[in-house]
Amino acid sequence: MTEKILNGIVSKYECEAKKNQSIAPYTSFRIGGCVDFMLFPQSTEALAGACCELKEKGIRFMVMGNGSNLLFPDHGYRGVVVVTTELKNITVNGNIITAECGASLTKLAGSALENSLTGFEFAYGIPGSVGGAVYMNAGAYVSEVSEVLKSCTCFDTNTCEILTLDNADCDFSYRNSIFEKSGNRYVILDAVFELSKGDKDVIRAQMNEFMSKRREKQPLEYPSAGSAFKRAPGYFTAKLIDDAGLKGFCIGGAQVSTKHAGFIINAGGATADDVTSLMKHIQKTVKEKFGVDIEGEIRIVE
């Protein structure tokens, strides 16, 4: 019955579908088991329509973009994963950029550069999508999405309504927003960013500097989900982990990066259990040595 409903959604809306797929290749961690069904909407209208029907029919589902901040379980996901990577249109009108939820942050930063717009340089090189970035208020180098977001359009799965939320409505805080706080209630469709006119050469130089820092300091050569932990107030979390003697520490195929202690990498054959066990060990050790609680930043799918 469930498969019949899903086939109906595919035929009704503009979606591609895959059945019984490993989720690992679709995530930056390269970890995770089999997913029952994957949907790839080809338009934001199809994304909203598909999510509405899945909700109404009581079918378990979640929405993801590039999978750059997610850890799926080894047993996979029983339900439907809706993937937004085909929704990548970006339009520029003066100093306003509108991007669909699946657009990559790096391409969005490139569009800003081409139009001599400043304010989005910090996102250059972040491997996530617009939807995920708004969801978690992503940031880097003391800047974050909330500083440049003007508004966003989202789909409310409780009411099956499309809403436009202004920046203030998003309830942004450090690595948090109304979207994260509400779980899977809201599906971000697109986002509008308000930037400022700038000098293209200066913008390009800033972007290149940020990318150079990432390559120098982050373990980009290994699969990971980015920073594993949020910044602890008053501390540099990576330094706490390093000072705890955990740099290079492994559980199974999961390892605290020797390049940047704030990253947990898939050093080869890591499982989700390896990663979660390592995260718990890090938190326990830091708490015992320094009395500081550190909170995970990776979104762990159950």
CATH code of 12's domain: 3.30.43.10
The pLDDT of residue 183: 82
Last residue of a domain, one of 202, 231, 255: 202
Residues 229, 127: contact at Cβ < 8 Å?
no
Give the CATH number, domain containing residue 262.
Answer: 3.90.78.10
Last residue of a domain, one of 150, 173, 202: 202
* Amino acid, single-letter form, for residue 137: N
Whether residue 26 is contained in a domain is answered as yes
Name which of 6-20, 72-86, 151-165, 193-207 the model is least confident about: 6-20
Whether residue 211 is contained in a domain is answered as no
φ and ψ of 81, to 5 deg: -105, 120
The pLDDT of residue 37: 95
Q: What is the mean pLDDT of residues 178-191?
A: 93
Let me know whether 70 and 127 are in one domain: no
In this structure, what is the dihedral angle of CA atoms 144, 148, 150, 151, given to the nearest 10 degrees?
-30
Let me know whether 124 and 167 are in one domain: yes
Of 184, 210, 212, residue with least CA distance to 302: 184
Burial 133-166 (b: 16+ CB within 10 A, else e): bbbbbbbbeebbbbbbbebbbbbbbeeeeeeebe
Given a cut of 90, is residue 5 above it in pLDDT?
no
Let me know whether 106 and 135 are in one domain: yes
**Strands (E) located in the chain:** 15-22, 34-41, 61-64, 70-71, 77-83, 90-93, 96-100, 117-118, 139-140, 143-144, 149-156, 161-166, 186-194, 196-197, 224-227, 250-251, 254-256, 263-266, 299-300
Higher pLDDT, 8 or 222: 222
Number of domains, the chain: 3
Cα distance between residue 22 and residue 40, in whole Å: 15
Let me know whether 196 and 250 are in one domain: no
Tens digit of each residue's pLDDT (9 = 90 or more) over 110-146: 999 999 999 999 999 999 999 999 999 999 888 999 9
Cα distance between residue 145 and residue 276, in whole Å: 27
Last residue of a domain, one of 55, 83, 111: 83
Let me know whether 79 and 94 are in one domain: no
The pLDDT of residue 3: 80
Q: What is the mean pLDDT of residues 203-207?
A: 97
Name which of 22-26, 39-43, 62-66, 179-183 the model is least confident about: 179-183
Whether residue 177 is contained in a domain is answered as yes
Let me know whether 100 and 194 are in one domain: yes
Let me know whether 141 and 243 are in one domain: no
Given a cut of 70, is residue 65 above it in pLDDT?
yes
231 belongs to the catalytic site = no
Q: In terms of residue numbers, what domain contains 119?
A: 90-202
Let me know whether 152 and 242 are in one domain: no
The pLDDT of residue 10: 87
Tens digit of each residue's pLDDT (9 = 90 or more) over 268-302: 999 999 999 999 999 999 999 999 999 999 999 98
The pLDDT of residue 274: 98
The pLDDT of residue 15: 92
Give the CATH number, domain containing residue 127.
Answer: 3.30.465.10
Whether residue 212 is contained in a domain is answered as no
Let me know whether 97 and 52 are in one domain: no
227 belongs to the catalytic site = yes
- What are the percentages of helix, strand and coil residues in the chain, rounded to 5? 35, 30, 35
Pick the catalytic residue: 111, 146, 227, 257?
227
The pLDDT of residue 162: 95
Pick the catalytic residue: 53, 121, 144, 297?
297
Assign 8 a pLDDT band (cuts: 50, 70, 90).
confident
In the block, residue with structure tokens 């909170």: 295
Assign 4 a pLDDT band (cuts: 50, 70, 90).
confident
Cα distance between residue 294 and residue 48, in whole Å: 36
Retrieve residue 46's tokens. 């199809």
297 belongs to the catalytic site = yes
Given a cut of 60, is residue 23 above it in pLDDT?
yes
Average pLDDT score, the chain: 95
Whether residue 106 is contained in a domain is answered as yes
Retrieve residue 37's tokens. 């069904």
Q: What is the mean pLDDT of residues 91-95?
A: 97
Assign 53 a pLDDT band (cuts: 50, 70, 90).
very high
Pick the catalytic residue: 60, 175, 185, 299?
175
Whether residue 207 is contained in a domain is answered as no
Q: Find the distance separating the first CA and the last CA of the chain, reported in whole Å.
A: 24
